[in-house]
Structure 1
Amino acid sequence: MRQKAINEASINDLMEVFYEKIRVDKDLGEIFNHAVGTSDEAWEAHKQKIGGFWSSVLLGSGVYTGNPLQKHFELPPFPREFFSIWLGLFEESLDEIYSQECKAVILQKAQMVANRFMNMLYTN
């Protein structure tokens, strides 16, 4: 049954589903595996950290500390189009976890984050 509420548990479910897709994606997998690592322990830590990011964005929890934009600046250059792939996988994952109403709220935030990152990374 799809979640009708955005809460810590559903965000954790989202992180599980989403990052399983990312790890094996033909375009994004290599970038993420290089940045995060390939061990399950490294991925668990990453999912927990990024889950905290989404908890802060969606619930106002304030648990995330860090600078996600800076982390993207530190990556080797990658095509702008990869943000569309990221968003597509994120939306697929939302479909598996959330009701349409929750999905719409989260997807709007994800699109805003992606657009901000693209503007900062690719606009000189």
Structure 2
Amino acid sequence: MSALPPKFDITRDEIARVVHAFYAMVRDHPGLGPVFAAHVTDWPKHEEKIIRFWANAILYERDYSGNPMAAHQDAGNVRPGMFAPWLGLFDLVLRMELRPDQAAAWSELAHRIGRSLRAGVVEKVHGADGIPRLF
């Protein structure tokens, strides 16, 4: 447990519920499913890592180790245009699984993180002319 209060009112169990519901929908998504399937071979292990990520980001638990920016940059098949569908699907799950105040607070955090990740991916994806490719 952390001495810091959570960013908003949510439990670890609620975080886990959202993560499980989100990745169930990702696996069926025609655009996102293949991107994740190319990298995730053990879904329960991946989901547990993402639960730790969000528990760290929201509850200030210190049980996550990883570098999301590097993972997205190094994946090779993540493109800037994929973040809008990812966030849209995530927002849908938040609205389905949480109270409106929780969904809004988590969505704001997810969009801020998504903008940062997208910017990191854009920096890695340039055309021959050096201009970022925003597809």
For normalisation by structure 1, the TM-score amounts to 0.89
Amino acid at match of 1:12: A
- The reply to whether residue 75 of structure 1 matches residue 75 of structure 2 is yes
- The reply to whether residue 24 of structure 1 matches residue 28 of structure 2 is yes
Tell me what 1:56 maps to: 56
Query: SS of the counterpart of 1:86?
Result: helix
**CA-to-aligned-CA distance 1:42-94 (integer Å, 9 cap, x gap):** 10000000000000001111111111111111112333121000001100110
| Identity over aligned pairs, percent | 26
Aligned partners of 1:82, 1:108: CA distance in 2, in Å? 18
Q: How many residues align?
A: 117
* Contact 2:22–2:90 under 8 Å retained in 1: yes
* Structure ID, larger Rg: 2
Report the Cα offset of residue 5 of structure 1: 4.1
Amino acid at match of 2:98: Y
* Contact 2:23–2:47 under 8 Å retained in 1: yes
Q: Any gaps of 5 or more consecutive residues in structure 2?
A: 1-7, 125-135
**CA-to-aligned-CA distance 1:76-119 (integer Å, 9 cap, x gap):** 23331210000011001101111110011100110011000111
Aligned partners of 2:81, 2:35: CA distance in 1, in Å? 14
Write 1 or 2 for the structure with the bigger share of helix. 1
Tell me what 1:115 maps to: 115
Segments ≥4 residues shifted beyond 3 Å: none
Tell me what 1:103 maps to: 103
Q: Any gaps of 5 or more consecutive residues in structure 1?
A: none
Tell me what 1:34 maps to: 38
Tell me what 1:84 maps to: 84
